[in-house]
Amino acid sequence: MTETSGSAAIQGHSFEQLEVGMEANFSKTIRAEDIDAFADISGDINPVHLDAEYAAGTMFKERIAHGILTASLISAVFGTKLPGPGCIYLSQSLNFKAPVKIGDEVTASVRVVELIDKRNRAVFACDCQVDGKTVLDGEAVLVVPSAEQ
């Protein structure tokens, strides 16, 4: 089963409804305003994110999004699509592969890779791509509400 991208209504799945191989994704175009707002919220004011002149002198040659801003799109999938409302993060590993630049459309995808009946744990492979290229990947473990809750 694959869920579509975008800002569709919130969906949800109980632990009992999950199956290995289920996938969902969410896409967002990163704007300068998103980076600025994330810097304000997080306190990460590294000039590589905020100052075009500074960033021009780095290996990136232009402003880039915070890696955790990109990773937050994974959280959007978890909280709204798969598994959906009520899930709780236990852990997340992240591997940053390439920068995300202003104007890039990022697609965050998650896929169920393991279900652990004890305490309703689900393990997900996570991937963020720009133009078909992985910019971030990792693995997450979540607690998923049961249908009985």
The DSSP letter of residue 8 is P
Structural domain contains residue 9: no
Number of domains in the chain: 1
Structural domain contains residue 5: no
Q: What's the confidence (pLDDT) of residue 39?
A: 98
Structural domain contains residue 124: yes
We report the CATH number of the domain holding residue 131 as: 3.10.129.10
CA separation (Å) from 71 to 8, 81, 104, 117?
20, 16, 14, 27
Stretch 106-129: mean pLDDT, rounded? Answer: 97
Structural domain contains residue 8: no
**pTM (two decimals):** 0.90
Q: How many CB atoms lie within 10 A of CB 63?
A: 22
* Structure tokens belonging to residue 38: 């994330």
Structural domain contains residue 4: no
Stretch 103-113: mean pLDDT, rounded? Answer: 98
> What is the extent of the structural domain holding 65?
15-143
